[in-house]
Amino acid sequence: MKTKIDYDSEYDILYFYPGEKKVDFSIDYDDIILDVSGNEISGVEIIDASEKFANAGENPKEVVKVLN
């Protein structure tokens, strides 16, 4: 299964998700949100992605292009 990757530039959030799964709960750690379904991580959201990737010298839009 291929992981989908999206970037929302309006809210500066980078999303990684394998598909549509029901999220049972989410864990928020330092603006990185893990969506959990059963005993699996079903998605990852990185809030303020441009700030986090700027520290690594990357632009989230470019990361999405490379990973897709």
- C-alpha–C-alpha distance, residues 7 and 59, integer Å: 11
What pTM, to 2 d.p., does this model score?
0.75
- Identify the pLDDT of residue 55: 63
Residue of 35 and 5 predicted with greater confidence: 35
More confident residue, 58 or 23: 23
At residue 63, does pLDDT exceed 70?
A: no
| Tokens of residue 24, six digits | 């049972």
pLDDT band at 34 (very low <50, low <70, confident <90, very high): very high
CA distances from 62 to 21, 23, 47, 68 (A): 26, 28, 16, 10
Q: Where are the alpha helices (DSSP H) in the chain?
A: 49-54, 60-67
